[in-house]
Homo-oligomer: A and B are copies of this chain.
Amino acid sequence: MSIKRMEVLKSLAVEAPTKIVMLVIDGLGGLPDKDGMTELERAVTPNLDKMALEGETGLLEMVDVGLTPGSGPGHLALFGYDPLEFPVGRGILEALGTGATVSKGDVCARGNFATWGQRDVIVDRRAGRIETEKSRELVRRLSEAITEIEGVKINYYPGMEHRFSLVFSGEGLCDCVSDADPQREGSPMKWAEAISPEGAKMAYIANKFIQEARKVLRDEPKANGCLLRGFSGVPDIPHLSELYKIKPLALAAYPMYKGLASLVGMDVLDDIEGSPAKLIEELQARWDAYDFFYVHVKHTDSRGEDGDVAGKVKVIEEVDKVIPSLMELSPDVLVVTGDHSTPAKMKGHSWHPSPIALLSSYVRPDGSSNFGERACARGSLGIIPAWKLMGLLLAHGRRLKKFGA
């Protein structure tokens, strides 16, 4: 169904001189605290409330009822892709999160430093959770020693503790490869295998890499080897411009979100700061060059993950303060929402739908004068699948022809 909808939208999309802004407040939705209010309800947000009053409100079901989205699926849905139809591998998401540049044909993998014992038994899959600093040093040594294997270039991206990411670039690589990881400690190494014939080369290169790394790391007491898993390439996702005849720009400071935006074909700004005020400044500077703007505010999610109610409230209030600068640009369509909920009470992502406020010249304001989860639940948009939002934005931007005669 979602694929059919995408095809229909594509067939109806036309160019128009309208500008659409999608402001994503990461992990926006929350849960009531002891005082009975969510973070968003507690925050003092006169500008968002005014937007709710003059626009339409509702809730976005991010992936499906009861499913807690990771950042990948949450954002894909906001960009118009049903996450159940467009799975994105962990390998590539982790690589994107470490700032990797990944092109079509490349294959990403998540790496772990590990302790190898006699006869290739994996003694510790995390090498005693070695320090991040130590891990970075080892990644540097590997990257100097192994730059390519049989014509396949290898790029390295260090991560936290024992983790790192690799991007393999070369001819004939396919991500249809099983993990090079026994999953259980005390078991002998399980080498990568091709899941389908096209994966043969990648499996061979991955195993060869692990053997070479063993040599480089042989004198390390704990991290004397590594494991690779989550092999994944750039998913076959049609770009937003070819689907909807828009020219999209991402204003996001964190690698994961820049990576997600580039996966769907957005232009991405390098080296920008993530505060709401700075993001809007950058947007203002590029207003004439694009017609679709994705703006990503990260720290609501971070404070939610920390269980820091006051901190999350503060970030929401910072966002509220920049709304007037956004409005000065007179976007034809402005939507404010989240990519998933991150209730401080849960210290993590949750399945609860995200509040949304939508403003354009073609709304039916529903009388809600409060941008909060419970007010939005009574809004005139109702609860809509997040992957349908993009079509709604195009409609409000007068960028869709009539369906049928």
The winner among A38, A64, A71 for most chain B CB atoms within 10 A is A64
- Report the Cα distance A135→B275, complex, angstroms: 64
Interface residue from B8, B9, B362, B364 paired with A377 (Cβ < 8 Å) = B364
Q: Does A176 contact B (CB under 8 A)?
A: no
The prevalent SS among residues of A at the interface is loop
Tell me if A88 is interfacial: C-beta within 8 Å of chain B: yes
Contact A404 B366 (CB under 8 A): no
A31 at the interface (CB under 8 A from B): yes
Does chain B have a CB within 8 A of A331?
no
Shortest A23–chain B CB gap in Å is 19
Which of A's residues lie within 8 Å of B, judged by CB? 1, 4-5, 8-9, 12, 31-32, 36, 38, 59, 63-73, 83-84, 87-88, 90, 93-94, 97, 343, 345-346, 348-352, 362-367, 373-374, 377-380, 382-385, 388-389, 391-396, 400-405
6 pairs, CB–CB < 8 Å, chain A vs chain B: A65-B388, A66-B396, A73-B403, A93-B404, A364-B373, A382-B383
- Closest B residue to A62 by beta carbon equals B403
On whether the beta carbons of A395 and B362 are closer than 8 Å, the reply is no
In the A-B complex, the 8 residue pairs with the smallest Cβ-Cβ separation, listed nearest first, are A66-B391, A70-B404, A66-B395, A377-B380, A66-B392, A73-B404, A65-B388, A382-B383
Known contacts A5-B64, A64-B391, A403-B70; is-contact A352 B377 (Cβ 8 Å): no
Rounded to whole Å, the gap between the CB of A5 and the closest CB of chain B is 6
Question: Cβ of A88: which chain B residues have Cβ within 8 Å of it?
Answer: 404
Say yes or no: A405 contacts B70, CB within 8 Å.
yes
B366 near A374 (CB under 8 angstroms)? Answer: yes
Known: A66-B392, A352-B364, A364-B377. A8 touches B404 (CB 8 A): no
What CA separation (Å) do A182 and B402 show in the bound complex?
Answer: 23
Given A32-B364, A364-B32, is A64 in contact with B388 using a C-beta cutoff of 8 Å?
yes
Contact B5 A69 (CB under 8 A): no
Other A-B pairs, 9, CB within 8 Å; known A364-B373, A377-B379: A32-B364, A66-B393, A70-B402, A83-B404, A97-B405, A346-B362, A350-B362, A367-B374, A382-B382
Complex partner residue of A84 from B5, B73, B93, B380, CB under 8 angstroms: B5
Query: Quick check: B31 and A364 within 8 Å, CB to CB?
Result: yes
Task: Specify which of B71, B84, B363, B388 is in contact with A8 (CB 8 Å cutoff).
Answer: B84
Q: Is the CB of A400 within 8 A of B94?
A: no
Q: How far is the CA of A384 from the CA of B383 in the complex (A)?
A: 10
The listed residue with most B CB atoms (<10 A of its CB), out of A32, A90, A389, A404, is A404
With A and B bound together, what is the CA distance between A395 and B346 in angstroms?
Answer: 12
Known: A66-B391, A391-B67. A402 touches B84 (CB 8 A): no
How far, in whole Å, are A380 and B384 apart by their CA atoms in the complex? Answer: 13
For the complex, give the distance between the alpha carbons of A128 and B88 in Å. Answer: 53
Contact status A384-B65, CB under 8 Å:
yes
Complex CA–CA separation, A396 to B373 (angstroms): 18
Taking CB atoms, residues of chain B closer than 8 Å to A87 are 404
Q: Which residue of the partner chain B has the closest CB to A65? A: B388
B residues near A377, Cβ cutoff 8 Å: 364, 366, 379-380, 382
Give the shortest distance, in Å, between A378 (CB) and chain B (any CB). 7
Which of A346, A383, A385 has the largest count of B CB atoms less than 10 A from its CB? A383
**Docked complex Cα distance between A373 and B69 (Å):** 31
Chain B residues in 8 Å Cβ range of A36: 365
List residues of chain B with CB within 8 A of the CB of A345. 362
